[in-house]
């Protein structure tokens, strides 16, 4: 019998069913609380807090992974652009102390003011109901990860 693999995202344990992409140093995972359809995360496999904690190999793998995943999800979710963001440190809005890049497919008119997406990414911003956004079920995340994994096979 094979036990399901678990990855670390800072202090959070991520079941392999949430992972849809793997490279030498990085993972692509579906989001517990996406702010838009297709909002996914690229994280380093190694637990490291800040971008500067990554080795050159890990950092370049993260960018190459973001390029590949971004291209695939933009198409899959019928986007026409991408927001790619790293909140690098708590004062920049980082809530999980493990370096990660947000990839969010964008399309015309999705946010009335384009930069409002950054308020929504920032959990602590006043007037944004991030805490009220319902976490998705394990099943829902598995189902999305299965569909996205097929894009990379
Ligand atoms: W940060 O505010 O640290 O830039 O972003 C943290 C991200 O991690 C958020 O998008 C949040 O929804 C996501 N997240 C938190 N817990 C989990 C989890 N268990 N699985 C997947 N994504 C998660």
Q: Which domains does the chain have, with CATH numbers?
A: 6-137 (3.30.428.10)
Ligand 1 midpoint to CA 31 (Å) = 6
User: Checking phi first, is residue 106 left (phi over 0); if not, alpha (psi -120 to 50) or beta?
Assistant: beta
Q: CA 71, 63, 65, 143: dihedral to nearest 10 degrees?
A: -70
pLDDT tens digit sequence for 106-127: 999 999 998 899 988 886 665 5
Atom of ligand 1 nearest to the CA of 39: 10
Taking 80 as the threshold, does the pLDDT of residue 43 lie above it?
yes
- Cβ within 8 Å of residue 100, ≥6 positions away: 9, 41, 42, 43, 44, 86
- pLDDT given at position 129: 52
Phi and psi angles of residue 54, each rounded to the nearest 5 degrees, phi first: -80, 145
Pocket of ligand 1 contains residue 33 by CB under 6 Å: yes
* List 39, 98, 100, 102, catalytic entry: 100
Q: pTM here?
A: 0.95
């Amino acid at each position: 019998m094979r036990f399901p693999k678990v990855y670390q995202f800072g202090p959070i344990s991520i079941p392999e069913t949430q992972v849809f992409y793997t490279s030498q140093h990085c993972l692509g995972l579906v989001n517990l609380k996406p702010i838009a359809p297709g909002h996914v995360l690229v994280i380093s496999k190694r637990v490291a807090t800040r971008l500067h904690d990554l080795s050159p190999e890990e950092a370049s793998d993260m960018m190459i992974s973001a390029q590949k995943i971004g291209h695939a999800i933009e198409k899959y979710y019928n986007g026409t652009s991408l927001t790619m963001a790293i909140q690098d440190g708590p004062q920049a809005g980082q809530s999980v102390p493990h370096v990660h890049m947000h990839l969010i497919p964008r399309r015309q008119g999705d946010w009335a003011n384009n930069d409002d997406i950054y308020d929504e990414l920032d959990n602590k911003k006043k007037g944004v109901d991030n805490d009220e956004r319902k976490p998705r079920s394990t099943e829902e995340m598995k189902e999305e990860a299965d569909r996205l994994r097929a894009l990379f096979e």
